[in-house]
Amino acid sequence: MSFRFKQFSVEDTACTMKVGTDSVLLGAWAAVNGSSTILDIGTGCGILALMAAQRSEADIIGIDIDTTSVEVAHRNFSRSPWSGRLTVFNLSLQDFCTRNPSQFDHILTNPPFFVNSLKAPLASRNRARHNDELPFPELARCCHQLLKTEGKLSLVLPVPEATLFRKAATENGLHLYRTFEIRPYTHRPANRWLMEFGKNPDTETATGGLGIRGEDNSYTPEYRNLTKNFYLNF
């Protein structure tokens, strides 16, 4: 299937993880403006990297352990207006950390988050959704290593897992800069957190949030405003 956004298209049929609301929200919210270098961990079809390319002038690297997803991301990158600034590698984060001495202005990730959960029959989908191969402490450690002193890490997680990652981040020298609660409906509790971390322990945490739909099931003005530069119908 191919998804058309205002400035690019994304094919995701063969990818283990498809284009979803979580990634679109993170890609629209992350403060990538002014970044020169960006890393997208677990790029999948490349949606986060493409959104970052639209919103910045950065050179962007995507990495993924799934070979098919890397092939799809490469096609999506090559067809975009920013193909000269987008690169993808078939590497785990751990291998990338070992091989790459570079540091980044911003790191983006919609990471695997299921912990000790029942797995699906498809191994590649398990790798994309379960954090066995990239536990939160390992993710936090590698991000600390790969971030510049003033760099930022932005990610999206379900609320319980967000609490677990925040603990792992603190233990690995990353401090919470911003949180943004996502409610599926304005009258329901939050089910996702967008979070931004960095290395400065003295940064005061800013908070915010929005509901995606109102009680009448229509998209809220806040959700439309955040994603209007991407969705065709907004």
| Mean local confidence (pLDDT), 53-79 | 97
Has residue 128 got a pLDDT over 50? no
State mean pLDDT over 177-205.
Answer: 97
85 secondary structure, DSSP code: G
What is the distance between the alpha carbons of residues 210 and 96, in angstroms, rounded to a whole number?
35
Side-by-side strand order, sheet with 86-89 = 86-89, 59-63, 37-41, 104-109, 147-158, 192-198, 175-185, 206-213
The residue ranking higher by pLDDT, 129 or 229, is: 229
Greater pLDDT, 156 or 18: 156
Question: Is 50 exceeded by the pLDDT of residue 216?
Answer: yes
List Cα–Cα distances, 61 to 48, 83, 138, 158, 167, in angstroms: 11, 11, 19, 25, 27
Which carries the bigger pLDDT value, residue 100 or residue 71? 71
pLDDT of residue 147: 98
Q: Residue 36 region, left (φ>0) first, then alpha (ψ -120 to 50), else beta?
A: alpha
User: For 172-186, what is each residue's pLDDT tens digit?
Assistant: 999 999 999 999 999
Judge whether 79 and 9 are in contact, CB under 8 Å: yes
Judged by average pLDDT, the poorest of 14-18, 30-34, 120-124 is 120-124
- What pLDDT is stored for residue 206 in this prediction? 97
Whether 118 has a pLDDT exceeding 80, the answer reads no
Distance CA 174, CA 197 (A): 6
Residue 17's pLDDT is 72
CA distance 106 to 108: 7
For residue 115, which amino acid is it? V
Provide the pairing of β-strand 86-89 with 104-109: unpaired
**pLDDT at residue 122 is higher than 90:** no
Q: Enter the DSSP assignment of 126.
A: H
pLDDT at residue 133 is higher than 90: no
Instruction: Please give the pLDDT value at position 116.
Output: 54
* Predicted model pTM: 0.91
